[in-house]
A = this chain, B = another copy of it.
Amino acid sequence: MQYSKATNYALHSMVFLALIPKEKTIGVRPLAEFQNVSPTYLSKVLTNLVKAGFIQSTPGVKGGYQLIKDTTDITLLEIIHAIEGSATLFNCRLNNNDLHDHHHCLIQEVMEEAEKKMENHLKKQTLQGIVKQVDKNKMSYLLSKSV
């Protein structure tokens, strides 16, 4: 079980977008090249981020993508959910006739508790938290490409 490549691209793209001046836009081409992925595929991922309200897209010359939400108001969990959806990681698949709906699965209960621990942590991790660290390292984030 692993997070999808799409989620990978989404998270890295968001960090990238957070690092460029807010009034500027950036095209899908450089974003894709940076991540070694085809622009057409990445654009589909980015569209999900647009629909989630994190970024804005403008077509045409000088168009591209840009953040429209404050980095302190975007959590990693939200980004992940925008791509992966928000279904629970574990779902009891016992479909026994005798199993009634109100009989909740004890295993599922525990698994959901565990997942919540992870989510609670990711809920506290804002995009700003990542970006801040990049600056702190005093490395040219874009040049080193070590996002």
Contacts and interface: CB of A to CB of B under 8 A. Distances in A.
Interface stretch (A3-11, A55-63, A65-73): A3-11
A120 B117 CA distance: 9
Interface string A28-50: 00000011100000000000000
A146 B105 contact: yes
24 contacts: A1-B2, A2-B87, A2-B89, A7-B90, A8-B90, A8-B91, A8-B92, A8-B94, A12-B107, A34-B96, A36-B96, A76-B107, A76-B111, A98-B146, A99-B146, A103-B146, A105-B146, A106-B130, A111-B122, A114-B121, A114-B125, A115-B118, A117-B117, A117-B118
Given A3-B90, A84-B1, A94-B12, A145 B99 contact: yes
A144 B103 contact: yes
Interface in A94-145: 94-96, 98-100, 103-107, 110-111, 113-115, 117-122, 125, 129-130, 133-134, 144-145
Interface of A: 1-5, 7-8, 11-12, 15, 34-36, 76, 84, 87, 89-96, 98-100, 103-107, 110-111, 113-115, 117-122, 125, 129-130, 133-134, 144-147
